[in-house]
Structure 1
Amino acid sequence: MLMVSLSLLLNLFSWFWLKSQLPNTSELFLHYNVLFGVNYIGESWKVFFVPLVGLIILSANFFMGWLLYKKDKFMAQVLNFVSILCQIFIIFVAFILVFLNA
């Protein structure tokens, strides 16, 4: 339960970080490529798909782990650990999006 709580806390942090740090403009840079620079500009609300995907991953891993817990406790723990790793990567992407649009 500790790992699920940590994953949820990290996901909430990514939501609040994006909401508080991004400028209030109609369009934002949403994708950056080293070779071509900014190659996707979109509406500002689309930036919240990143933490939404993290929340979907967290929910799916939580429910699969909950169903597997009686049969295989180790696999349930692995799913929860993968949720934490995904949330860390999503926070990394959120930081990149904020600094790209600063």
Structure 2
Amino acid sequence: MKKILISNIFRDDIFQLGVIINIMINIALWVFLYGRVKSASDPITLQYNIYFGISYMGEWYKIFVMPIIGLLIFLLNYILSYYIYRNDTIAAYFLMVSAVAIQALLLLSAHLITVYT
């Protein structure tokens, strides 16, 4: 069994690119939501359904649950990728790519919630 150091995992270009893209999208999500949502006493739309319209409203700070969830998913996938990388590199890549996809979907949903409602 070969020993993998943390420096070996970061020498892998695909893994390194996945980490950088995840961090950049999560930061963009925080900045986008912070710029769009100002602290206010009025409730804001937190969930929108295409059939019925607004389905959930709440306090302004609850919109920041989305980037927190994205960050937690990234951290979980990063930790799992680190341990899986020793035995199966492809699975570690898949975890990083899936985290990027989830972050992108969260950014898209934040855009749709703040712009179209």
TM-score (norm 2): 0.81
Match of 2:96 in 1: 80
Residue 41 of structure 1: SS of its match in structure 2?
strand
Q: Residue deviations 1:29-73, cap 9 Å, x none?
A: 111112211121100110011111111110000000001111111
Query: Could you tell me the percent identity over the aligned residues?
Result: 27
Q: Which runs of 4+ in 1 moved over 3 A?
A: none
Any conservation in 2 of the 1:54–1:86 contact (CA below 8 Å)? yes
Q: Distance in 1 between matches of 2:29 and 2:54?
A: 22
TM-score (norm 1): 0.92
Match of 2:36 in 1: 21
Q: Which has the higher contact order (CA 8 A, sep 6+)?
A: 1
Match of 2:60 in 1: 44
Match of 1:6 in 2: 21
1:30 equivalent to 2:46? Answer yes
Per-residue deviation at 1:23?
3.7
Per-residue deviation at 1:16?
0.6
Q: Distance in 1 between matches of 2:53 and 2:38?
A: 20
Structure of larger gyration radius:
2
- Cα RMSD of the aligned pairs, angstroms, is 1.2
